[in-house]
């Protein structure tokens, strides 16, 4: 299993908008395209203005294919357009790719 930690550095005043977008649209769209969000956080220090989440993928090839499908989904394109009428929500996005280690079993 491949775990992708995505970090969004938000533009000022956009945290609630992106959280609403995920809650109302994106999580379901991800599921429609074979991606499972397992964790969501916002930075404890609000001045950092960062959102974090983990997406599970079977492997990198499927991750790339699923994201391509997601990015080209007409529903996503419209949700993004509407939610960004007053400007982009994200200033910078990072992805960190992780895998389980053999010695640790999460119980």
Give tens-digit pLDDT for 58-89: 999 999 999 999 999 999 999 999 999 999 99
CA 20 to chain centre: 13
Specify the higher pLDDT residue, 9 or 107: 9
Q: Which CATH number fits domain 2-98: 3.40.50.300, 3.20.20.140, 3.40.50.620, 3.30.70.100?
A: 3.30.70.100
Q: How many residues does the chain have?
A: 107
Distance CA 24, CA 79 (A): 10
Distance CA 98, CA 95 (A): 10
Least confident of 20-24, 33-37, 71-75, 101-105: 101-105
> In the predicted model, is pLDDT for residue 31 greater than 80?
yes
Strand 2-10 vs strand 36-42: parallel, antiparallel, or unpaired? unpaired
Residue with the two structure tokens 């499972």 = 36
Please state the pTM of the whole predicted model: 0.91
Query: Would you list the domain boundaries of the chain?
Result: 2-98
> In the predicted model, is pLDDT for residue 50 greater than 90?
yes
Distance CA 107, CA 105 (A): 6
Report the sign of the C-alpha dihedral through residues 79, 85, 89, 93, in that order: positive
Residue with the two structure tokens 């993928």 = 57
């Amino acid at each position: 299993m491949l775990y992708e930690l995505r970090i969004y550095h938000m533009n000022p005043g956009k945290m609630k908008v992106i959280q609403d977008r995920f809650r109302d649209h994106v999580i379901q769209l991800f599921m429609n395209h074979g991606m499972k969000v397992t964790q969501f956080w916002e930075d404890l220090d609000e001045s950092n203005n960062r959102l974090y989440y983990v997406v599970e993928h079977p492997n990198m090839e499927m991750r790339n294919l699923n994201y391509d499908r997601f990015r080209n989904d007409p529903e996503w394109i419209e949700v993004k357009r509407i939610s960004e009428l007053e400007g982009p929500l994200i200033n910078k996005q990072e992805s960190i790719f992780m895998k389980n280690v053999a010695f640790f079993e999460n119980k």
